[in-house]
Amino acid sequence: MSQSTPTREVARRVFASEFNDAGYTFKESDDERAPVYLLLPTGESANRVFFVGTLTEKEDVGEDSEYWRGRVVDPTGTFFVYAGQYQPEAASKLRDLEPPAYVAVVGKPRTYETDDGTVRVSVRPESITEVDATVRDRWVAETAERTIERVAAFDHEGNEYARMARDEYDLDPETYKAAALSALEDLDDTDELADDAGEADDAEDVRETTDAAEETEAPDPTGI
């Protein structure tokens, strides 16, 4: 990647169960500013992630300044997001939101090692948007589709990230396919949610916002 034209990586849709099983990070070049990727167990690299779930808890865990921790639950598990002075918009959103609330989050994976050597993963949010159940259900359906596609491609020759996942994780990718199928079974009836035209219009506005946040490649001065 050229230093003169850094780009923002596409955010990957991933369920919490798979995200929390990941722990291996890597760079694809020796450049100090090269992006850092989290290796997903289904054989994909993720510099950024996009997920939608229920904000069930929030807490200011900072000592000298605000540092917000949020717990966001999807059908398969829990994401933890942390936002402080370097993520002012996300921190402000966490401060103002009242759980429980559906939220769409775009952010960067972060890993840390506990005293016993366990690697934990969390998310440093770039944006947090309050959404409704229609948006949540759409994300679940699309994330399940992407997960199943990754599992189907896991044994394909030339799948470099799948080879890395085999080396780094003692995990069966079929586990995540099963979780995706279970999440689909748990979806609410979105037809009933769409009966209110006003809510449907609002949901479409939010979908456009989250899609843009997920897919647009924009300058990223940090390079990570």
User: Which 8-state DSSP code applies to residue 9?
Assistant: P
Please tell me the pTM assigned to this model: 0.82
Give CA–CA dist 93/7, Å, rounded: 25
Q: Domains (ranges, CATH) in the chain?
A: 11-215 (2.40.50.140)
pLDDT digits (tens, 9 = 90+) for 130-174: 999 999 999 999 999 999 999 999 999 999 999 999 999 999 999
The pLDDT value given to residue 32: 85
Q: The tokens of 194 are what?
A: 């769409």
Half-sphere exposure of 196 (CA within 13 A, CB side): 8
Give CA–CA dist 141/11, Å, rounded: 16
Give me Rg for the CA atoms of the chain. 18
Q: The tokens of 130 are what?
A: 């309050």
Block residue for tokens 């948006």: 135
User: How buried is 99 (Cβ within 10 angstroms: 0-12 exposed, 13-18 middle, 19+ buried)?
Assistant: middle
Most confident of 3-7, 41-45, 196-200, 217-221: 41-45
Is a pLDDT exceeding 80 seen at residue 212? no
Chain center to CA of 91: 17
Angle at 10 between CA 175 and CA 69, to 5 degrees: 70
Provide the pLDDT confidence category of residue 93 given band limits of 50, 70 and 90. Answer: very high
